Structure 1
Amino acid sequence: MLHTLKDLPLSDKDIAPLIISADKVAHVQMNNPLQHALLVLIKSGYTAIPVLDASYRLRGLISKSLILDAMLGDEDFELERLSTLTVNNVMAKDVPCIRPDAPFSKALSLLINHSFLCVVDEEQAFSGILTRRSTLALISKYLHQH
């Protein structure tokens, strides 16, 4: 019987096969207006997406809730803020990240509190995301085979 994550043969596996590549991930750039970010979020169906700079380095995350908070005025929503504020004004800069060569056990520990992790190299170049869903699917597949 397995007692810890370290007992699971998956714990030392590489996460690389589970990464969704950057070219398939919805994202916005720092200087995009909030209106654009909200449209990307709505069309993609995601609640949060990565924010990249002009060199495609990860700079933060933008979410529907951050945009809605930025639109709140004293008594009402101020819709004009969608066109006057940029993603950079509102984004969260504390982003859960992981390297592409990180062990599965580290990814699993981080995914407990996040629905996805941004995958970056040592220069913060964005290479994709690792989702909780793909990670759990691999664990489920493993458990059903053993």
Structure 2
Amino acid sequence: MLEAKEFDLTTTLVKEMMIDAEKVAHVQNKNPLEHALLVLTKTGYNAVPVLDFHGKFEGIISKSNILEAMFGVEKIEVEKLEENTVGDCMDHEVPTLLVHDTMEQALHELIDYNFVCVVDEDQQMQGIVTRRQLLKQYRNEFYRSQNKA
């Protein structure tokens, strides 16, 4: 993590603040929805990245996506958890960041998302940047500036 005195949105790179991919909960596109729901429930997250078998980023799966897939015309169809895969109902159109993007660019995306995935030029997942990280960094900067006064 960066020292508060070093934090500048325009010069701090995404790679300096991201959580590395190996520490990020994720699911694969071919996993059944049941597996994704278990991962989301056990981790307490509302959404996680979706990767292919080779670690390429493909989108995001959320609890909302899964619940929507279970809604039938007249009832909730729990059997769809086994029948459908993550790839059937995930969000494909989500923003991503590159490791060399600035935190200013991340800020714009984090307004609408709790986290944004960081990828390389080949769409290989490198990590995530979270809204929580950014807010904590600003909080630290605020208190540091208050202590100077």
Residue matched to 2:39? 40
TM (norm. structure 2) is: 0.89
Residue matched to 2:58? 59
Q: Do the aligned residues in 1 keep the contact of 2:12 with 2:103 (CA within 8 Å)?
A: yes
- SS of 1:11's equivalent in the other structure is coil
Give RMSD over aligned pairs.
Answer: 1.2
1:5-31 CA-partner distances (Å, limit 9, x unpaired): xxx943222222211111111100010
Deviation at 1:60, TM superposition (A): 0.9
Q: Which amino acid aligns with 2:40?
A: L
Residue matched to 2:127? 128
Superposition pairs of residues 27-106 of structure 1, within 5 angstroms:
27-106=26-105
Query: Structure 1: how far apart are the matches of 2:47 and 2:107?
Result: 19
TM (norm. structure 1) is: 0.91
- SS of 1:139's equivalent in the other structure is helix
4+ runs deviating over 2 angstroms: 8-11
Gaps (5+ residues) in structure 2?
1-6
- SS of 2:34's equivalent in the other structure is helix
- SS of 1:56's equivalent in the other structure is coil
Aligned residues with identical type, % of pairs: 45
Residue matched to 2:13? 14
Deviation at 1:87, TM superposition (A): 0.5
Query: Structure 1: how far apart are the matches of 2:140 and 2:40?
Result: 30
Query: Structure 1: how far apart are the matches of 2:137 and 2:15?
Result: 13
Number of residue pairs matched?
139
